[in-house]
Amino acid sequence: MKFFSCFFLLPILFLSVSVNAQRSAQPDFLQYRESAWVDSVMNSLSQEEKIGQLIMVAAYSNRGAKHKQEILELVKEQKIGGLIFFQGDPESQVELMNDYQEASKVPLLGAIDAEWGLGMRLDNTISYPFQMALGAIQDEDLLLELGAEVARQVKRTGLHVNFAPVVDVNNNPENPVINFRSFGEDKENVASKAVAYMQGMQNAGVFTTAKHFPGHGDTGTDSHYALPQINHSIARLDSLELYPFRRIIEAGVGGVMVAHLNIPALDSTGVPSTLSRAIITDLLKEKLQFKGLIVTDAMNMKGVTMGNLPGVVDKDALLAGNDLLEFTEDVPRTIEEVKKAIQQGLITQEDIDQKVRKILAVKQWVGLDRYKPVPKKRIEKDLNSAAAKLLNHRLVEASLTVLKNDKNLLPLQQLETLKIASVSIGAEKKTKFQKSLSLYSKVEHFQLETEADSAAVAELMEELQEYNLVILGVHDQSKFPRNKLNFSSEVVQFISEFSGKENTVISFFKNPYVLNKIENIENAPALIVTYQDSELTESLAAQLIFGGVGANGKLPVSVGKKFRAGEGLEVSGGIRLSYSLPEAVGMNSEILEHGIDSLMQQAIEMKAIPGGQVLVAKDQKVVFYKAYGEHVYHDTIPVEKTDLYDLASVTKIASVMPVLMELYDVDKFQLDETLADHLKKFRRSNKKDIPYRDILAHQGRLQPWIPFWKNTLRKNGSYRWWTIKKDSSARYPIKITDNMYLHRNYPKKIRKAIRKSPLLEEKKYAYSDFFFILAPEVIKNITGEEFAGYLQEHFYEPLGATSLTFNPSEKFPASDIVPTENDFLFRHEAIHGTVHDEGAIMLGGISGHAGLFSNANDLAKLLQMYLNGGEYGRRRYLQEETLKEFTRVQFPENDNRRALGFDKPALKYTGPDSNTAKDASAASFGHTGFTGTMVWMDPEYDLLYIFLANRVSPTRENKRLYQLNTRTQIQQVLYDAVKH
């Protein structure tokens, strides 16, 4: 290939290309070109060894011993300058790189294509968002952070160079090779994002190369397979394609990678740009004043190899002005061809030496003059650090782009009015997106396969008619978000039709260009673009829909006539729980996870509990949520996060207390009132003068409890004839079990027994269930509504707490409900799906002292509302001052730690047996339950803790959970993680 045939273009370039003549920042590494170390290495190299320094070959860590031996031979015999690593795993790569370095006369320069992080090439590593998604981000400091983190990971794997960032302006939607790898179509956005990413990497000590010079964005051909041609004028190339390269060169980028492109306006000979002196030497080096390292794109790509021989083509690339040859296929021949070129005067030895000095200067800049082997121990843990994962989370969240939000549909409001269905299109099973939607409200899920036919679509359309909100997730099953739509015409028509409906939310997990292939999608009331499909994008899109997170991304590319680059609506978040990582709220994930995991494992192994759920939220972010163990001992049913637990006495603060506080807000309930004010039959009782403040603080002199169930039994253990029957009837309607039905008047007998019960002698703290058993009737008399229905309407449904319920077996399958005790005293069966407390089951399963079931996530919504001062999801449920009053200690002078209905930390911490962790603040409040539950809120830390378990399985006599003090030990772990 003749490099000199393009010299005649120089006058045109000098006249026509208005390249900015500003002084570019000289790459830092150049300071070492004449260093003592570089001099010493240069003096030790033969001519062949110097040429070898200009060569970088491909290495893999998943190809076994034969490949390793081939690389070792090139290192030892040809004295190559570096390796670019491709597929493999980090541990193997480090081990191999250490071996290769040991065999090399001059330390090897290690490189990798890690445009979106090591996950681009290596297994078990993080893949950050593709550059198109990064192009949507408005906070460029995140790009600096990304660069620094990617650099850390690159160095941890024993490498020194990242062939990134891509600075191509992608102005061709059909571009098959750049596309989602570009920051977008706006040259300013591309340039500023590229500079930030580059600076983050280089500031952290990793050498970078801007690629693919002079611009690969407007091609319809993949240069891996053929030579693309770009037919634009010099003026257009100068104003658009070259602009980001100018900017990043001015910012001090260390290297530039040259693409294999045919650009007639720059070189009319048709040679690939990699072999064009006019493009590399005259344009890049002289006009753009680039003094750094010039690297070829891979020299095995068809865009440069077609019609060119290995070795010869590499020589021609050096003659054109490149410094480093990437992916040379024939190293010995390349060295021989370069030697011949020197002999023929096509290039001088001085030119070669200057290139070698550049490469050695890079090696010194990255620290190879002080080379030490890289340890492989803990490498995967180091690469997948909590900080690295959190950064990925932040980047994805920042990239979320809302293109439509008619009538401020997002985030969803008034959940109690919505009957929601979700459809995952292009999925065969329930997706992470759908599971994440279910964290917020009741959602019925459907799947529509990629090739669904008209019958399947018609059936689904019929089913969706009963819902007033439909959420479509348009998924991408491919590894990369190509500009392709592999859906049947029927599926495409389905999306198009639903886009025109009034209450449709579309979350688009595909390449945004694909939007242009779906008619009418621009008319969707709400449209979210995530740029790619992953568990993280799916989770965060669901959180965005419900207001857990917000969005402010801007579309980095235009989508036909539907949307223009730069479009994107701001949607506020933070109105409901979000789901993140401990580090997002300043907690240490290692302390948190190890501490909770080990304590839960201990409790399970010691048979304190068969399993459980633990949820931790801080600053309204759920940062830990796990299920452990099994439903019962020696079971095969693992506990799932969606399973329901019997909350036992946590029912008090999750049912009675929110209603009383709401009624207090509207002056329908006063703390100086008494039971006699709301229950006529108490007007002559010994409890008629006891104020609610005393009762709720558990110092109203009420008896702790009465074993009501025992009154149904004769001395011989059989049931009294008027209490329980085997079959239901009008007189015996209260179901205890399938074979036990209680007399309809028995609840009245329970209330009568409470009314008639004697008072304790002293007015001091004595925990009692009595008022909470009576509370549903008190509330009904005040509101005129049934207790359970009132709770659902005023709290649980608006909160989206769909599993928070009484009598769960009426709504949920038994497999979703965790069993409690094997009752051999009263019910004579294993209790599963009904309340454990005997008094509560005798009240029909609905009581204020026990009876609620929930999973940790739904219970968290109510408790977070408390932490928020009575507000959640942009809805105020309670006044903040009311919550402060009800959750403060009422009678400390009486040595009573209790608030109103809520438990509080002991007035003086008494050691490991205290009721809370030692670091729980005095402002904190919560409750525990007999079945093993504990919930606690700490306003000082905005910290929420939920522990659900069934320690009464198989018997209530099991006290190991108390003996181990598991619940409060876990609670202390939370504070340790905060104060790390």
pLDDT class for 705, splitting at 50, 70, 90? confident
Spell out the domain ranges in the chain.
Answer: 4-382, 400-576, 594-600+607-978
* Whole-structure pTM value: 0.95
Q: For position 28, what pLDDT does the model report?
A: 96
**Burial track 625-659 (b if 16+ CB lie within 10 A, e otherwise):** bbbbbbbbeeeeeebeebbbbbbbbbbbbbbbbbb
Average the pLDDT over 610-639 and give the result: 96
Over 70: is that where the pLDDT of 850 sits? yes
Bigger pLDDT: 708 or 114? 114
Tokens of 15: 């006249």
CATH number belonging to the domain at 400-576, selected among 3.20.20.140, 1.10.10.10, 3.40.50.1700, 3.40.50.620: 3.40.50.1700
Q: What topology does CATH give the domain 594-600+607-978? A: Beta-lactamase (3.40.710)
What is the pLDDT, as a whole number, of residue 710?
87
* DSSP-derived pairing of the beta strands 255-258 and 293-296: parallel
Return d(Cα 112, Cα 97) in angstroms, integer. 12
The pairing of strands 925-928 and 934-938 is antiparallel
Q: What is the Cα–Cα distance from 524 to 412, expressed in whole angstroms?
A: 15
How confident is the model over 190-207, as pLDDT tens digits?
A: 999 999 999 999 999 999
pLDDT above 90: residue 846 = yes
Backbone angles phi, psi at 384, to 5 degrees: -105, 45
Res 770: pLDDT: 97
Q: How confident is the model at residue 716 (pLDDT cuts 50, 70, 90)?
A: confident
Q: Report d(CA 450, CA 428) in Å as an integer.
A: 9
Q: Minimal CA–CA distance to 852: which of 751, 736, 915, 933?
A: 933
pLDDT at 16: 40
Q: Which pLDDT does position 10 carry in this prediction?
A: 38
Burial class (CB in 10 A: 0-12, 13-18, 19+), 684: exposed
Average pLDDT over residues 880-893: 98
Q: What is the CATH number of domain 4-382?
A: 3.20.20.300
Helix (H) or strand (E) holding 578: strand 578-579
Q: What is the mean pLDDT of residues 813-822?
A: 97
The three-class DSSP label of residue 786 is coil
Average of pLDDT values for 640-652?
98
When pLDDT is averaged across residues 754-779 and rounded to a whole number, the result is 97
What is the per-residue pLDDT for 183?
Answer: 98
Q: Is 474 helix (H, G, I), strand (E, B) or coil?
A: strand
pLDDT at 14 over 50: no
- Each residue's pLDDT tens digit, 525-553: 999 999 999 999 999 999 999 999 999 99
Nearest residue to 101 via CA among 373, 342, 319: 373
- Residue 24: pLDDT band with limits 50, 70, 90: low
Confidence of residue 23 (pLDDT cuts 50, 70, 90): low
Q: Quote the pLDDT of residue 5.
A: 35
Q: If you average pLDDT over residues 225-253, what whole number do you get?
A: 95
Chain mean pLDDT for the chain = 95
Instruction: Measure the CA–CA gap between 826 and 411, rounded to whole angstroms.
Output: 49
Q: Return the closest-CA partner of residue 29 out of 219, 238, 205, 222.
A: 205
pLDDT of residue 2: 34
pLDDT at 17: 41
Residues 567, 607 contacting (CB under 8 angstroms): no
Residue 798 above 90 pLDDT?
yes
- CB–CB of 451/484 below 8 Å? no
- The pLDDT of 431-440, averaged and rounded, is 98
- Provide the token pair at 91: 């541990």
Residue, of 304 and 904, whose pLDDT is higher:
904
Among 11-15, 255-259, 647-651, 810-814, whose mean pLDDT is lowest?
11-15
Is the pLDDT reported for residue 9 higher than 60? no
Residue 904 above 70 pLDDT? yes
The residue count for the chain: 980
- Residue 734's contacts (CB-CB under 8 Å, 6 or more residues apart) are 741, 742, 743, 744, 746, 747, 842, 843, 844
pLDDT at 869 exceeding the cut of 60: yes
pLDDT at 912 (0 to 100): 86
Residue 453, pLDDT above cutoff 60? yes
Helices in 86-232 by DSSP H: which ranges? 90-103, 131-134, 141-156, 187-203
Q: Which of 387, 400, 396 has its CA nearest to residue 148?
A: 387
**In 3D, which of 787, 765, 796 has the Cα closest to residue 840?**
787
CB 257 within 8 A of CB 213: yes
Cβ count within 10 A of residue 344: 8
Cα separation, 771 vs 656, in Å, equals 10
Give the per-residue pLDDT at 593: 97
pLDDT in tens, 300-352: 988 888 888 899 999 999 999 999 999 999 999 999 999 999 999 999 999 99
